Structure 1
Amino acid sequence: MNQAPERFTIVPDDYHVPYAGTAEDGRKFFLSDELFAPGSGYVGLFLWKADGTFDEVRVDEVRRAEGVPPGQAAAAGADDLIASRLAELGKYVLEPVEVEPFAVEVDGVTFGWVGSEFEGLYSINIEPGDFIAYYEPWDGLEYDT
């Protein structure tokens, strides 16, 4: 029976997950410049402790790319900010990470990997923007966009 997981895996790829792995200090991370809410774009660095439990989120509001339809993810073009956030990680390794879902609110916007259920099917979705959704078997090898 499909049920919400305590942990799921994020696997780096060349599409929506270019930055996931382990930082020099052992913490797990996911970094994206595709996070969005109506009228806003964000660069978000999500951090978990070495054991995969939630640690913190670092968020920067950026200009949303022009011409992107509402509800569609797109890179914010914040290359300097991405480089800065990656530098904060020290020597890092891009690799699959097994972490727990979480949600935190920053300035009235929910950030995290949020579990939901629809007609008995559970998913873990990125927020804000809901442009990545993982499903059972939670191995991170495939996701819906």
Structure 2
Amino acid sequence: MEGRPTLIAIEHDDYHAEHVGVTGDGRQFILTTPFDPAVGTNLGCEFVALYVFDKAGHLLEAKVDSFGPRSSLDESTRRSLLDERLASLGDISFKRVEVAPFEIEHLGIKFGLIVREPEDDDDIWAVEMQPGNYMAFFEPWDSGEYDT
């Protein structure tokens, strides 16, 4: 479909893209902390997600861990898992990545860089980091910039 992104660039930064980069063998990775927002009686949920991609940006592996509701989040336990996941990648460099949109399901929740198609002629393509839609990407897809 015309306009649909094939690769999304993400520049390393000190915010949501703090843990993006490349491993010593050239694989790309995104280590992030998505959240399922509270809706109705749902208390929501905090996660740690590691996505590993090949050199061309195709998803190879996804590891998602649940930490329960934000109100009971043990930040030190989550930080320990983040450190463990980073260490599991070996020698890494934090830098720009270029990866293909992807979608996985965990605990009945959609995770990934999920493409949002235009709903009408006035709408535009977007790619959203889900769950939580905490990073949204728009054309040009190679800018590396995102909205929060």
Q: Report TM bin, short chain.
A: 0.7 to 0.9
* Cα drift, residue 25 of structure 1: 3.0
Match of 2:9 in 1: 9
**Which residue of the partner structure matches residue 29 of structure 1?**
29
Q: 1:66 aligns with which of 58, 71, 83?
A: 71
In the alignment, the residues of structure 1 paired with residue 141 and residue 104 of structure 2 have an alpha-carbon distance, to the nearest angstrom, of 21
Aligned residues: 136
Match of 2:61 in 1: 56
Give SS of 1:125's match: strand
The equivalent of 1:128 in structure 2 is 131
Tell me if structure 2 keeps the 8 A contact 1:25–1:89.
Answer: no
The corresponding residue for 2:41 is none
- Residue 97 of structure 2 corresponds to 97
**Pair 140,19 (structure 1): closer, same or farther in 2 beyond 3 Å:** farther
Shift of 1:28: 0.6
Q: Kindly state the Cα deviation for residue 21 of structure 1 after the two structures are TM-superposed.
A: 0.6
Distance 1:64 1:32 in 2: 17
Q: Which has the larger radius of gyration?
A: 2
Tell me, in whole angstroms, the C-alpha distance in 2 between the residues paired with 1:55 and 1:128: 20
1:53-79 deviation digits (Å, cap 9, x = unpaired): 111110110134339xxxxxxx97311
Q: Note if contact 2:96-2:144 (Cα within 8 Å) is conserved in structure 1.
A: no
The unaligned stretches of length 5 or more in structure 2 are 39-43
Q: TM-score, normalised by structure 2?
A: 0.84
Could you tell me which amino acid in structure 2 is paired with residue 36 of structure 1? Answer: F
Q: Secondary structure at the match of 2:81?
A: helix
Aligned to 1:72: none
TM-score by length of 1: 0.85
- After superposing on structure 2, the runs of 4+ consecutive aligned residues of structure 1 that deviate more than 4 Å are none
What is the CA deviation profile of residues 113-132 of structure 1, one whole-angstrom value per residue up to 9, with x for unaligned ones? 00113443111100111111
Change (3 A) 1:61 1:9: same
What is the CA-CA distance between 1:9 and the residue it aligns to? 0.4
Identity %: 35
Query: Aligned Cα RMSD in Å?
Result: 2.0
Q: Distance in 2 between matches of 1:141 and 1:29?
A: 15
Which structure has the highest strand share of the two?
A: 1
Structure 1 pair 141/6, CA: closer, same or farther in 2 (3 Å)? closer
What SS does the corresponding residue of 1:22 show, helix, strand or coil?
strand
